[in-house]
Amino acid sequence: MMQTQISHATHPPLSGLWVLLVNNDGELSTQDADGRVPVMARTGNDQKYLLVFKNMAKARQFVASSDLDGAEPRMVVRGNQDDILRIARSAGVVGTLVDYDPTTQQYAAANALA
C-alpha cells in the first residue's frame, strides 16, 4: 500500500463523503439499527481505517473490483455521521482512506478520524 502521512492538523468532516455499508454478521460489537457497519481496512502497520469515497461512482467502482456481497454506498450526512463515527471508533479506526483502489492499493488521501 502506498504510504502517506496522516494529517492530524485538520480533521475534515465526513459529511458529503460516501461509505460502504455491509452486514455486520456479528464481527463487530457495534452496528447501526439495521445491523450494518461501514467497510474498514487494516493496513500493513496493523491500523484500521474507514474507507470513504468522494462520490458514488468511486464507491461503486470499489464494490465492482472487490468481493463485497451486498455492499451499499451511503452518503454521510448529519443524520448518520455520528452513528458511522461511533461504529468506526468502537472498531479501533484511527483514520480515513479516501478513494482507496484495491487493484493498485493506492488512495487519494489519508486523514485522522474526525
- The pTM score is 0.87
Task: Say whether pLDDT at 67 is over 90.
Answer: no
Instruction: Delimit the domains of the chain by residue range.
Output: 18-112
Task: Say whether pLDDT at 3 is over 80.
Answer: no
Give me the phi and psi of 96, to 5 degrees please. Answer: -120, 145
pLDDT tens sequence across 14-48: 999 999 999 998 889 999 999 999 999 998 888 99
The rounded Cα 113 to chain-centroid distance in angstroms is 10
